């Protein structure tokens, strides 16, 4: 069984300006100062963003009074909560939104201020005294990863991966100041602070770490305790600390007595099947946001910390990210699926009473006419109207297993649907897409291209699969090719299929007779950095996104004898490439790079644009350059 667990530029007018704020109709837009600075470099005007479909997975939520705030990619959605006389939530209505240029990783709210931990490396403070009219107060660039946020006194504490714990003075909300970045062993994934003592879930093999941050400029490591696998989430009631981990062998909710900070003692461990991302403790109950076989919400009785007892659970196949509790209502950040609102008054039977939809990871993109067709991960196919690229609009959605790539041909979208193989969707009415056929493949369908009556599927470990789709309602596999590697993407031209096959390199296959394909040659490097992940063709050259080797240009004049022609080196992993005119658009793990390829043997760097999160694929067309930005949504650039 396959595992279910399976992100207009303009010149700087004032030197010390750090933010641009536009507020109207309850919508606050926060412009990233780092992007303003980049625009001052003329070379980067070659990469100009014109719009963003700012939808994506939900990682965090927070409540205050009669309002709920939850992040969806780079948008914080503000929801008014109607409560009855007993304080029980009975109705929800969205009233505003707050947009950032990154991805909302975590949030906390104190004294009318919402603190947003933005995955683009920013802490943002928003005044929500009037929640329907949020106002930006201040921001601080941290230049690091941001995983979680906690508040105590007049300080914010941010778990920052390898950078430990950032300690930030927020006594002046309009001017937050970094006091220090306190080192912590391991990779800080979550933090909770009590009486200036920081308890850190420190990732793989580093377990629980405890530090005294009463003097932030003189942090003092106190104690630690090993935990199997990756310690990912943490909470405390003062005397005990509760840690969840993810591990193949010993996943659990681990409970520690921390009365002696220098020598924490594990007093219990409630077993899980795979593990969890986060835990929140309210009174005598621990609420666990689980993943994989624990996906959903798990409720555990911790009234006796030495003897925890699982009471009940709500399960779903999509992993959970975090959980917030408000008066026996659990708000479960449910990743690609959105936000679940659960009634937990009966902890042995949590029940969903409300669902807020969101978007999944944007993994693939194709365009036709006024529409962008988005492979949206676990949300399936999304159709977005991009007539006005500055204001993309949702049109429709069709759920599939896990859409990774799409190819539009006439009235059909052909979907590479990961574990579920191939899906064919009728889009003759874009507002009502209909699945008309499906065919399983043995691997993980990663990429797809349709030429005439044949669909060519890069099927991961399943190699290249060739389907006859002349009868749309009955696709038939007619051939398969074992590539000796992992097939990520396929591009077909002049009866030759070129497959980016991971460590096996670029594989040229004669498909003039689709029922009898023949491997002609393989182009690869026996180097650790090399991995063929994406390929696009132009004339007598193939342009290969080759992992940490950057972009390789391959001479395909003779498909039987593939030869090196040129290279553009990249320090980051090159994931995908698309061509338009004399330009190549290269996606690496953090940016879009634009290259002049008039001389294929010597690509010339033109400019680049940082991305809010890792990019999956890129699609250049007459109407613009579209980036499948994973958790950061769909990003649109001018050519």
pLDDT tens figures, 468-480: 999 999 999 999 9
- Give the pLDDT band of residue 146 (cuts 50, 70, 90): very high
Q: Residue 43 above 60 pLDDT?
A: no
Residue 331 has pLDDT above 70, yes or no: yes
Domains 20-42+54-356 and 364-637 share a fold: yes
> DSSP H helical segments within 285-416, as ranges?
none
Structure tokens at 588: 């690496």
**Tell me, which fold does domain 20-42+54-356 have in CATH?**
Methylamine Dehydrogenase; Chain H (2.130.10)
Average pLDDT over residues 439-467: 98
Q: What pLDDT was estimated at residue 38?
A: 24
Determine the average pLDDT of the residues in 511-526. 96
Q: Residue 143's pLDDT is what?
A: 87
CB-based contacts of 399: which residues, under 8 Å, 6+ apart?
Answer: 379, 380
Q: What is the pLDDT of residues 116-126, one digit of tens each?
A: 999 889 999 99
pLDDT at 587 over 90: yes
The answer to whether residue 39 scores a pLDDT higher than 90 is no
Query: How many residues are present in the chain?
Result: 639
Encoded tokens for 21: 């704020």
The whole-number pLDDT of residue 184 equals 92
The whole-number average pLDDT for the span 573-583 is: 97
Q: What is the DSSP letter of 320?
A: P
pLDDT of residue 28: 52
CA distances from 420 to 21, 377, 378, 445 (A): 44, 12, 11, 8
Instruction: Give me the long-range contacts of 513-518 (CB less than 8 A, separation at least 24).
Output: 514/454, 514/466, 514/468, 514/478, 514/479, 515/466, 515/478, 515/479, 516/479, 517/464, 517/466, 517/479, 517/481
Q: State residue 612's pLDDT score.
A: 85
Angle of CA points 500, 504, 509, to nearest 5°: 60
Model confidence at 102, in pLDDT bands (50, 70, 90)? Answer: confident
How far apart are the C-alpha atoms of 44 and 232, rounded to whole Å?
A: 37
Pairing of strands 27-31, 89-99: parallel
Query: Can you tell me the mean pLDDT for 343-369?
Result: 95
Predicted confidence (pLDDT) at residue 3 exceeds the cutoff of 90: no
- Residues 593-637: pLDDT tens digits? 999 999 999 999 999 998 888 899 999 998 899 999 999 999 999
| Per-chain mean pLDDT for the chain | 91
Condensed to tens digits (0 to 9), the pLDDT of residues 396-417 reads 999 999 999 999 999 999 999 9
CA–CA dist 426, 432 (Å, integer): 9
Tokens for 484, please give them.
Answer: 């000796």
Q: Find out whether 41 and 599 touch, Cβ atoms under 8 Å.
A: no
Which pLDDT value is given to residue 46?
58
**Residue 527 confidence (pLDDT):** 85
**Residue of higher predicted confidence among 46 and 604:** 604
- Over residues 57-78, the mean pLDDT reads 95
- CATH number for domain 364-637, candidates 3.30.365.10, 2.130.10.10, 1.10.3720.10, 1.20.58.760: 2.130.10.10
**Helix, coil or strand: residue 283:** coil
Please give the C-alpha separations between residue 271 and each of 288, 308, 453, 561, 579, in angstroms, as whole numbers: 12, 10, 52, 56, 51
Q: Which residues contact 274 (CB under 8 A, 6 or more apart)?
A: 5, 246, 247, 248, 251, 290, 291, 292, 293, 294
Q: Which of 373, 346, 349 is closest to 362 using CA atoms?
A: 373
pTM (2 d.p.):
0.85
User: What confidence score (pLDDT) does residue 7 get?
Assistant: 29
- The model's confidence at residue 202, banded by pLDDT at 50, 70 and 90, is very high
596, containing H or E segment: strand 591-596
pLDDT value for 256: 98
- Would you say residue 32 has pLDDT above 80? no
Q: How far apart are CA 59 and CA 72, in angstroms?
A: 7
**What are the residue boundaries of the structural domains of the chain, listed by start?**
20-42+54-356, 364-637
**Higher per-residue confidence, 265 vs 588:** 265
Confidence bin at 54 (pLDDT 50/70/90): confident
Average pLDDT over residues 202-222: 96
How many whole angstroms separate alpha carbon 98 and alpha carbon 91? 21
Q: State the pLDDT at residue 6.
A: 33
Phi, psi for residue 145 in degrees, rounded to 5: -70, 150
CA distance 329 to 70: 15
User: 66-72 long-range contacts, Cβ below 8 Å, gap at least 24?
Assistant: 67/128, 67/131, 68/92, 68/326, 68/331, 69/107, 69/109, 69/114, 69/128, 70/331, 70/333, 70/339, 70/356, 71/103, 71/104, 71/105, 71/107, 71/116, 71/333, 72/104, 72/338, 72/358, 72/359
Give the contacts of 369 (CB within 8 A, at least 6 positions apart): none
Phi, psi (degrees; rounded to nearest 5) at 629: -95, 25
At 46 the three-state DSSP class reads helix
17 — pLDDT class (breaks 50, 70, 90): very low
């Amino acid at each position: 069984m396959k595992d279910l667990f399976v992100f207009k530029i303009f010149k700087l007018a004032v030197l010390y300006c750090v933010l641009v704020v536009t507020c109207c109709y309850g919508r606050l837009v926060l412009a990233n100062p780092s992007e303003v600075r980049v625009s001052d470099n003329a070379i980067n005007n070659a990469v100009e963003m014109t719009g963003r479909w700012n939808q994506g997975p939900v990682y965090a939520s927070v409540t205050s009074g009669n309002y709920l705030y939850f992040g969806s990619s780079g948008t914080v959605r503000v929801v008014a909560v109607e409560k009855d006389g007993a304080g029980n939530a009975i109705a929800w209505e969205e009233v505003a939104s707050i947009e950032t240029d990154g991805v909302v990783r975590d949030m906390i709210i104190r004294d009318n201020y919402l603190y947003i931990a933005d995955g683009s490396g920013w802490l943002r403070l928003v005044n929500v005294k009037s929640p329907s009219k949020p106002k930006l107060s201040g921001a601080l660039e941290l230049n690091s990863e941001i995983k979680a946020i906690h508040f105590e006194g007049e300080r914010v504490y941010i778990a920052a991966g390898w950078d430990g714990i950032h300690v930030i003075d927020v006594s002046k909300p309009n001017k937050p100041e970094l006091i220090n970045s306190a080192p912590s062993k391991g990779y800080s994934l979550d933090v909770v602070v009590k009486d200036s003592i920081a308890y850190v879930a420190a990732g793989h093999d580093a377990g629980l770490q405890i530090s005294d941050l009463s003097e932030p400029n003189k942090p003092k490591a106190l104690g630690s305790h090993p935990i199997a696998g990756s310690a990912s989430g943490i909470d405390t009631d003062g005397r005990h600390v509760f840690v969840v981990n993810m591990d193949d062998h010993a996943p659990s909710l681990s409970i520690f007595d921390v009365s002696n900070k220098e020598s924490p003692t594990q007093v219990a461990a409630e077993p899980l099947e795979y593990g969890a991302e986060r835990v929140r403790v309210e009174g005598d109950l621990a609420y666990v946001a689980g993943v994989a076989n624990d996906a959903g919400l798990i409720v555990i009785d911790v009234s006796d910390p030495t003897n925890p007892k699982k009471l009940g659970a709500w399960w779903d196949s999509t992993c959970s990210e975090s959980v917030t509790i408000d008066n026996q209502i659990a708000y479960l950040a449910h990743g690609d699926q959105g936000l679940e609102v659960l009634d937990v008054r009966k902890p042995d039977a949590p029940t969903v009473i409300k669902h807020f939809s969101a978007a999944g990871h944007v993994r693939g993109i194709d365009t036709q006419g006024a529409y962008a067709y988005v492979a949206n991960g676990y949300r399936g196919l999304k159709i977005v109207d991009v007539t006005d690229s500055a204001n993309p609009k949702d049109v429709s959605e069709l759920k599939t297993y896990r859409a990774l790539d799409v190819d539009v041909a006439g009235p059909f979208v052909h979907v590479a649907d990961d574990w579920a193989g191939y899906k064919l969707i009728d889009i003759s009415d874009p507002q009502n897409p209909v699945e008309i056929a499906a065919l399983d493949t043995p691997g993980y369908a990663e990429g797809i291209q349709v030429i005439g009556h044949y669909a060519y599927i890069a099927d991961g470990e399943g190699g290249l699969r060739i389907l006859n789709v002349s009868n749309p309602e009955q696709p038939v596999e007619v051939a398969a090719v074992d590539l000796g590697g992992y097939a990520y993407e396929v591009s077909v031209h002049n009866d030759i299929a070129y497959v980016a096959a991971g460590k096996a390199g670029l594989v040229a296959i004669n498909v003039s007779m689709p029922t009898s394909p023949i491997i002609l040659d393989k182009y690869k490097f026996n180097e650790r950095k090399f991995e063929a992940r994406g390929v696009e063709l132009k004339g007598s050259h193939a342009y290969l996104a080759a992992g940490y080797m950057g972009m390789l240009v391959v001479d395909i004049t003779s498909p039987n004898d593939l030869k090196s022609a040129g290279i553009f080196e990249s320090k980051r992993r090159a994931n995908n490439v698309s061509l338009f005119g004399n330009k190549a658009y290269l996606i690496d793990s953090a940016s879009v790079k634009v290259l002049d390829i008039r001389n294929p043997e010597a690509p010339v760097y033109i400019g680049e644009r940082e991305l809010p999160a890792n990019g999956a694929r890129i699609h250049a067309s007459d109407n613009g350059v579209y980036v499948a930005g994973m958790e950061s949504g769909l990003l649109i650039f001018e050519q």
